């Protein structure tokens, strides 16, 4: 298929009555916003044709060939009019993150991996001041900090532990936790009493409306037992909600701790519990095996899916277990001096670490954010983009300098370029490799919305589609020109995507002519708060059946 054909796929006129509506009434009605002359694409119905879109009260009221007018007008000639892009793995919760998300076409960004605590307060703190829709899971990682580093948490005064706890204030907690030389949350095995405290707290966060449980078990691989992880997934399953996971063995191609082994653990738990599962950043050894298993599970009627981002590097805390020499080098990686060699890069210093330098940083600056390169991933990236159902999520983080303001220039961002360029990269690479645009849009919009909607998140059942009656989260882009600009070079790490001139969030124009409009139209993505929790503790008898006497 040529590039021109990729840009101008033949319309698929499915269910024309759905799209034409009542022509005479349509022509006479004014709307809050009309989008005219655009190429409307809806991944759910496969609709693809030039139409006018009328939006009123935050909803798509009409998609029609008839002339329509409104209080505000966008001329979308030459642009694709698509459902707003959905990111289920977003840590860029600061104001600079707003700008980068909108420039990359994102209308909904949720942290389903690290998650948060004090969930009700977390949502309250964001009401009316978010430029995109927002949501969170309950944080397994944060709960383990409070339980296994309790002394350090009680002594710290940097963070209010009764307020919202999320990625924006978790770094100081991690620094406090390791002052005694032992990262308890990472390496300490939970007793029965501690497991009950962990799952009771997760249950309370779920009662408050969390979207599920998020677990960064790859950062706690030696401390979290298989039974604890099963009980964590069971806590979410009690509410019919998802569990979302960072890989336990990541990145590893070494038997018996191969990357897919960690997947099999949470996959079998989800299967046994008949619960939704989101396996996050499936971008390492064994990824195709994992995708085959997830596809088979979906074919059997289970709600399970994965994420990818189109880069060969990760970004994380220097103290992450899998970056330390005994695990990093065991997996065939080395502390190199270029992306093609692999290695650990510091965007703030704009250079690669030697092994000795990195060990020192990991010990003395445990929460310092670094970028790790894995050169062997490079040829896989295009395969990820081609894989149906492998959703696109950035794992985008705030600047390594710390949370930034709306006034921060894009050039001042320091960190992984995926926060700025994930969707731009996917769209550019798909165009260059003649991958059907409809398939790519499905992975960025419809599939994440469908999976969350199927898990009972009502607000996602009306997103991820470009259809009459749906919420007006809309992204407009030029299929011939959209591209990423962010690189790993200093001053280029936060350069925004170009070719996405308009983004509409809940019917409000949040990005116009590629300029942020300062519109805070984001809505919460969450479950209703419930009156009672569903926690049931593990009894002494159950624990005895699981572990020998010395672990009681």
pLDDT classification of 393: cutoffs 50, 70, 90: very high
**Prior bond to 444 cis, omega within 30?**
no
Residues 392 and 221: their CA atoms lie apart, in Å, by: 25
Q: Looking at residues 413-438, what average pLDDT do you find?
A: 97
Residues 341 and 6: their CA atoms lie apart, in Å, by: 34
Residues 313 and 104: their CA atoms lie apart, in Å, by: 19
Q: Residue 331's pLDDT is what?
A: 67
**Radius of gyration from C-alpha coordinates of the chain:** 23
Q: Which two tokens stand for residue 399?
A: 């600047």
Residues 371 and 338: their CA atoms lie apart, in Å, by: 12
pLDDT classification of 326: cutoffs 50, 70, 90: confident
Q: What are φ and ψ of residue 541, in 5° steps? A: -65, -45
Q: Residue 182's pLDDT is what?
A: 85
Tens of pLDDT, residue by residue over 129-168, are: 999 999 999 999 999 999 999 888 877 778 889 999 999 9
User: Mean pLDDT score of the chain, rounded to an integer?
Assistant: 91
Q: Residue 339's pLDDT is what?
A: 82
Contact 231, 538 (CB under 8 A): yes
Pairing label, strands 133-139, 313-317: unpaired
Q: Is the dihedral of CA 535, 536, 540, 542 positive or negative?
A: negative
Which position has the higher pLDDT, 302 or 18? 302
**Beta partners for 47?**
42
Quote the pTM value: 0.92
Tens of pLDDT, residue by residue over 504-521, are: 999 999 999 999 999 999
Which position has the higher pLDDT, 153 or 309? 309
Q: Residue 53's pLDDT is what?
A: 98
For residue 39, the SS3 value is strand
Q: Is the dihedral of CA 426, 432, 435, 441 positive or negative?
A: positive
Residues 456 and 452: their CA atoms lie apart, in Å, by: 7
Q: Residue 422's pLDDT is what?
A: 98
Q: Residue 12's pLDDT is what?
A: 39
Q: Residue 183's pLDDT is what?
A: 86
């Amino acid at each position: 298929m040529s590039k021109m054909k990729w840009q101008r796929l033949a319309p698929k006129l499915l269910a024309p009555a759905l799209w034409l509506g009542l022509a005479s009434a349509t022509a006479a009605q004014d709307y809050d916003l009309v989008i005219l002359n655009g190429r409307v694409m809806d991944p759910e119905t496969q609709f693809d044709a030039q139409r006018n879109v009328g939006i009123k009260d935050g909803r798509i009221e009409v998609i029609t060939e008839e002339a329509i007018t409104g209080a505000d007008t966008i001329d979308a000639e030459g642009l694709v009019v698509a459902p707003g892009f959905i990111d289920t793995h977003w840590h860029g919760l600061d104001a600079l993150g707003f700008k980068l998300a909108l420039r990359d076409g994102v209308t909904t960004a949720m942290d389903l991996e690290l998650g948060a605590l004090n969930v009700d307060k977390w949502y309250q703190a964001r009401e009316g001041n978010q430029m995109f829709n927002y949501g969170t899971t309950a944080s397994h990682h944060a709960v383990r900090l409070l339980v296994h580093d309790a002394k350090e948490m009680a002594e710290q005064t940097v963070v209010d532990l009764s307020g919202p706890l999320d990625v924006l204030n978790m770094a100081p907690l991690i620094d406090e936790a390791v002052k005694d030389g032992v990262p308890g949350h990472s390496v300490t095995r939970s007793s029965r009493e501690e497991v009950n405290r962990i799952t009771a707290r997760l249950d309370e966060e779920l009662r408050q409306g969390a979207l599920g449980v998020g677990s960064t078990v790859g950062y706690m691989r030696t401390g979290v037992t298989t039974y604890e992880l099963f009980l964590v997934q069971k806590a979410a399953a009690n509410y019919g909600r998802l569990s979302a996971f960072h890989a336990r063995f990541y990145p590893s191609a070494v038997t018996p701790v191969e990357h897919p082994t960690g997947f099999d653990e949470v996959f079998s738990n989800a299967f046994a519990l008949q619960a939704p599962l989101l396996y996050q950043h499936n971008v390492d050894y064994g990824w195709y095996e994992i995708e085959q298993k997830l596809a088979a599970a979906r074919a059997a009627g289970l709600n399970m899916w994965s994420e990818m981002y189109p880069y060969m590097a990760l970004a994380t805390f220097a103290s992450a277990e899998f970056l330390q020499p005994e695990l990093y080098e065991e997996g065939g990686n080395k502390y190199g001096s270029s992306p093609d060699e692999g290695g650990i890069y510091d965007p703030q210093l704009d250079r690669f670490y030697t092994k000795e330098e990195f060990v020192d940083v990991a010990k003395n600056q445990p929460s310092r954010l670094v970028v790790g390169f894995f050169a062997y991933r490079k040829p896989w990236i295009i395969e990820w983009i081609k894989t149906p159902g492998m959703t696109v999520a950035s794992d985008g983080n705030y600047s390594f300098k710390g949370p930034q303001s709306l006034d921060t220039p894009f050039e001042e961002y320091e960190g992984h370029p995926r926060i700025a360029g994930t969707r731009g990269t996917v769209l550019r690479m798909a165009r260059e490799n003649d991958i059907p645009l409809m398939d790519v849009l499905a992975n960025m919009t419809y599939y994440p919305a469908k999976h969350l909607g199927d898990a009972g998140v009502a607000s996602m059942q009306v997103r991820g589609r470009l259809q009459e009656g749906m919420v007006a989260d809309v992204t407009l882009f030029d299929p011939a020109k959209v591209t990423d600009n962010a690189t790993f070079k200093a001053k280029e790490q936060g350069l925004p995507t170009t070719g996405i001139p308009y983004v509409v969030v809940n019917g409000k124009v949040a990005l116009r002519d590629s300029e942020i409009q300062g519109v805070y139209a984001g809505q919460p993505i969450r479950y209703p708060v419930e009156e009672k929790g569903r926690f049931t503790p593990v009894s002494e008898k159950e624990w005895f059946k699981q572990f020998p006497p010395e672990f009681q």
